[in-house]
Structure 1
Amino acid sequence: MKFKRNAAAMVVVLMLAACGDAARAPAAGEPADDAACALDGMSLKDYPGPKAQIVFKDGHIDYFCSLSELFEVLFGEDGQRGIGASYVQDMGKADWNRPRGHWIEARNAFFVIDSRARGAMGPTIGTFASKEEAQAFAAREGGRVIDYSQVKPDVLKLGTKPARDAHDDSMR
């Protein structure tokens, strides 16, 4: 009887552990040097400012050279279909001019909108893991800090001009 109880308890523990694994977001990838934006084919490494990525449930990753493009996809017709997680770079740690690594889940980030900071498409959205770092950036570069729950198409002014058509040609 004691063996059956221990075995049953072990099965429950294993099932709970498996549930925890299933609930974890897929890990962010690091784009290769030749990685291109999923929407417009621009090289990620050639432009300053934070990049973004969507990791799909099947393991495929789409990279984006700007946050506007990430949100264009997230707010688009397909919305969250097949998406495992979305990531942005923590610009409190990454080099603004040549950002690499420092990926954080977009839903945990703080966003600085309407700043003077420039990225692949001219004006860009800054992304930070820390609210304090986002506020410090906004104090230097202008703009305002919002969290993920406040990210909406009208707040980001998306839809007025498709992100893939809005690239700042002076950056090329």
Structure 2
Amino acid sequence: MLTRRKFIIVVGGVTLAGLAGCGGEEEVAVVCEPQPIVPGDECVVCGMFITEYPGPKAQVCTRNGQVLKFCSTSDLFVWLLQPDSVPQLRKAYVHDMGITDWDHPSDDAFIDAEVAVYVTEHPVMGAMGPTLATFGSEEDARAFMAEQGEGHLLGYEEIDVQVINDLARAHIRRTM
């Protein structure tokens, strides 16, 4: 005879067995390539129209296939440094400013953000004021720093909240 206790154990066991395969999220099979930035595209962090401003832009492909666009590399890292962003990230892209124009970066110049070389503490303004200039090679980054007369090289993993806060403080100092 099936007692209440046995019934609960059986139902609980069946339920647990059914849930065993639901432990992780399925990753959607999507193509993760940079998309063209077109007039009307807005930065997901600040809401500015991306094409109306100079400097390197950025994009993120999320695990669910969504493409997020950013008006600046600084805003990219504002997003990336949020704890809830990391699990969403599939791939990030930035412009290689060694092969494209600062005022109107080309959609053909996107590179993997993790392999880019970043220059901070330079005088050239981006969409949000001081920004991280991005390059596909250290040689191009050093040439940019020599041309500008200043700058500091960083790798992707070196960019943290302190770097972004320093950019914001530099912007405040320049506007005073």
* TM-score (norm: length of structure 1): 0.74
In structure 1, the partner of 2:34 is 28
CA distance in 2, matches of 1:104, 1:89: 6
CA distance in 2, matches of 1:123, 1:96: 13
Instruction: Give the number of equivalent residue pairs.
Output: 144
Q: Residues 25 and 125 from structure 1, CA distance in 2 versus in 1: closer, same or farther, beyond 3 angstroms? A: farther
Pick from 150, 154, 174: which aligns with 1:146? 154
Q: 1:86-140 CA distances to partner (integer Å, 9 max, x unpaired)? A: 1100001111011122110100000000100111111111000011000110112
Q: Which has the larger radius of gyration?
A: 2
CA distance in 2, matches of 1:71, 1:47: 18
5+ unaligned residues in a row in structure 2: which ranges? 1-27
In structure 2, the partner of 1:126 is 133
CA distance in 2, matches of 1:149, 1:73: 15
| Farther-moved stretch of structure 1 (51-60 vs 144-153) | 144-153
Structure 1's consecutive aligned runs of 4 or more residues displaced over 3 angstroms after TM superposition are 158-161
8 Å contact from structure 2 (residues 131, 167) kept in 1? no
- Give the RMSD, CA atoms, in angstroms: 2.7
1:39 paired with 2:57, answer no
Whichever residue aligns with residue 153 of structure 2, its letter is V
CA distance in 2, matches of 1:61, 1:85: 10
* TM-score (norm: length of structure 2): 0.73
Local SS of the residue matching 2:86: coil
Q: Residues 25 and 110 from structure 1, CA distance in 2 versus in 1: closer, same or farther, beyond 3 angstroms? A: farther
5+ unaligned residues in a row in structure 1: which ranges? 1-21
